[in-house]
Structure 1
């Protein structure tokens, strides 16, 4: 109705101005020029008002759903309603997300890249303990082995000599024991004969000295035998019968031949010898690794290094398994930064029971570093500023929401620490809390429909 009246008024003024223009030749002397200008101005204003009102009536209702600015006078008004009540349609349109205030440490996430490597504490680079010939080779690269499983048989050249020395020492020890026995018998006879003055005291003392000499020689031979046996044991890594395995029928189990066995369960990564080849202790012949745990070396930027601590939780993701996160812990933080990259190689131990992680895989690493003790945490989007204070909106039932002033602490990982004003377990509005703030400040709810 108002729109129609404004258009009619504009039309009347326009006609009046037109007729005045036509009669200007008759009344040129009697109608002042100022009246012409006044009539044209009034007509222009009326047309502008009518056009503006029509444009306002034609705006779609969806435009009201845009964020509503808070008037300064209202923002400064402390007398705000304690709760907000939404209609069912408005509540459905806003699609508010209800979150729970949780108790826990504020976690700072440090992102880095890295690569998967061996757990160096469980990699055995097996070398022969002495020079010798490979009599047999029982494994190939990629084979899985158990602890104590035979890997190869070595004909140890040095072991043969050590075994001969041990046998010689055993014979010498037997001879020394016999000599001591004879010396003790001679001394006992001399002791009996001196009672009848059949031998001199000097003879008895001489035989006593012989016994002492034989006892010392016996101890020397015992020490030599022990030394040669220990040398032989060092040169023979482990005999097959000591691990529950047995050598094949065409491989003798005596002398210089001994089994080289796996020190733990794992995978044979490399074999660098062939049957019949002569080896020495300077060259590894087999590599066995236990991949049940792997090390991921994460390149952490210097600016993030201060937030990382040994024991922090780690999440590792690789492109081979895009939907899977491998978890572990930080085990070592280096004392120096690499000069070429400005990064620190932070070591992370990652359990790998199924062997999914392979050595040299590229990895995306997230280190979750707790900041301080446990606190109440809420999503950062649930906080709004009302009259210069941080508030959260709490659902109270029946489509009602109450607002509560809280004190905030540090922010990390999309979470904000609440130091006071809210208890753990309380429900708060997360995404969509801005619309509740707008409704609170204007005492109405925005409508998105």
Structure 2
């Protein structure tokens, strides 16, 4: 029988168990036993070998894993050293930050919607989406019969003012003539008093007419009529059904919800145009509820957008919403920033970093030196790698280096039950291998016994 046995490991343990069974059978230890006793004794030896092999295999696997990688270290073999680069741990300035997501929005303090003050049909659209307009520039024209009533009221007020003016002039002349006659002893005092009363009534009517006329003018101006159109109506007295709606502020047309020939209503409340001043925009960051207690007005905020990846937009928080979103459980934090080059567009997705503390200097390692495994990371040292966790937005300096002192709980590890299941699978596979080896050894032993029996008989 060949004895070229493996030196160590599970194969060596299996070989030792098989050799033990063979020599136990060859020696006289079990010759005096019955066949049933021999079988039971063989099974006891086999189970003992299985237990030895299982413990050796588990120990060897643990040693192999522990040699290269452990819970708090990773060893680098010499063949891997040529792929590594040595870098010094330097001191950098770190500022505690909180990360958030959000979007860019219009400056609502410098934007407005345009409504129609009366119902009618759109006859012409002047301003298009994206056009820059000045205050008073025409946006669209509407044909509405409702414009005739205020124009007619204006003309009537103008006529009443002229009539009151004429009566006032006549009362002034009459009062002067009666006063002259009374001074010459040619008119009684009664006529003078009556003339003075008529003059006072004419002055009152004149003031009322002037007030009604100005009210009609203001109403036309509110309805969208310009001063030039009102002056022309005052001179010509010609009514017009078409009116022009103008821009109320300077800005850019960012929305248009009206088309040519469309009938619009004054009581619908639907905006025809939206005009916004894009020279400034709002940064709206959504902060988690557990982080909002650390956010204050005046803190510095940094924003990045994918449209301009190499640019950082900095501002300061000027408002914090008083309510939290019911769905996302986040609170909106707002800041205002200059946008003279119009690089930021409304509803752009943005990533935010909010500085919540003072800057401190700590040892730091290059970002490339951190090996990420889920939420945890490892930084390689001279003879080991220390575990650290630095999720984005925390414990980082402006250069993006993770803090070497940052230590947080490591990622998930296998539960005891999972480890037991893994060991059971390994033991089962080893039992199968051992059983095959035992069967082979038993067959060889039976053949040897038959051969020895034949020799004894001879």
TM-score normalised according to structure 1 size? 0.54
Give the equivalent residue in structure 1 for 2:371: none
Tell me which of 291, 296, 304 is aligned to 2:291: 304
Give the equivalent residue in structure 1 for 2:259: 274
Unmatched runs of 5 consecutive residues or more in structure 1: 1-65, 68-92, 243-252, 383-411, 416-429, 433-449
Query: Are 1:379 and 1:414, in contact at CA under 8 Å, matched by a contact in 2?
Result: no
Q: What's the CA shift for 1:256?
A: 5.2
Tell me which of 330, 341, 361 is aligned to 1:354: 341
Give the equivalent residue in structure 1 for 2:195: 207
**2: distance between equivalents of 1:431 and 1:276?**
68
1:413 matched to 2:395? The reply is yes
**2: distance between equivalents of 1:97 and 1:366?**
25
**2: distance between equivalents of 1:204 and 1:134?**
61
Change (3 A) 1:187 1:431: closer
Residue aligned with 1:328, SS: strand
Give the equivalent residue in structure 2 for 1:234: 222
Tell me which of 166, 175, 189 is aligned to 2:163: 175
Q: What's the CA shift for 1:260?
A: 2.6
- CA deviation map 1:184-204 (0-9, x unaligned): 222222223234544332222
- CA deviation map 1:102-122 (0-9, x unaligned): 7xxx74311111122322223
**1: distance between equivalents of 2:182 and 2:248?**
65
**2: distance between equivalents of 1:145 and 1:205?**
61
- CA deviation map 1:387-417 (0-9, x unaligned): xxxxxxxxxxxxxxxxxxxxxxxxx8347xx
TM-score normalised according to structure 2 size? 0.53
Query: Are 1:109 and 1:367, in contact at CA under 8 Å, matched by a contact in 2?
Result: yes
| Corresponding residue pairs, total | 281
Tell me which of 83, 101, 123 is aligned to 1:113: 101
Change (3 A) 1:277 1:160: same
**1: distance between equivalents of 2:185 and 2:228?**
64
**1: distance between equivalents of 2:303 and 2:208?**
62
Structure richer in strand, relative to its length: 1
Task: Trace 1:1-400 onto structure 2 (pairs within 5 A).
Answer: 95-96=87-88, 99=91, 107-155=95-143, 157-236=145-224, 238=226, 255=240, 257-281=242-266, 282-371=269-358, 377-381=360-364
| Larger RCO (CA within 8 A; separation ≥ 6) | 1
**2: distance between equivalents of 1:119 and 1:279?**
27
Residue aligned with 1:325, SS: strand
**2: distance between equivalents of 1:260 and 1:240?**
14
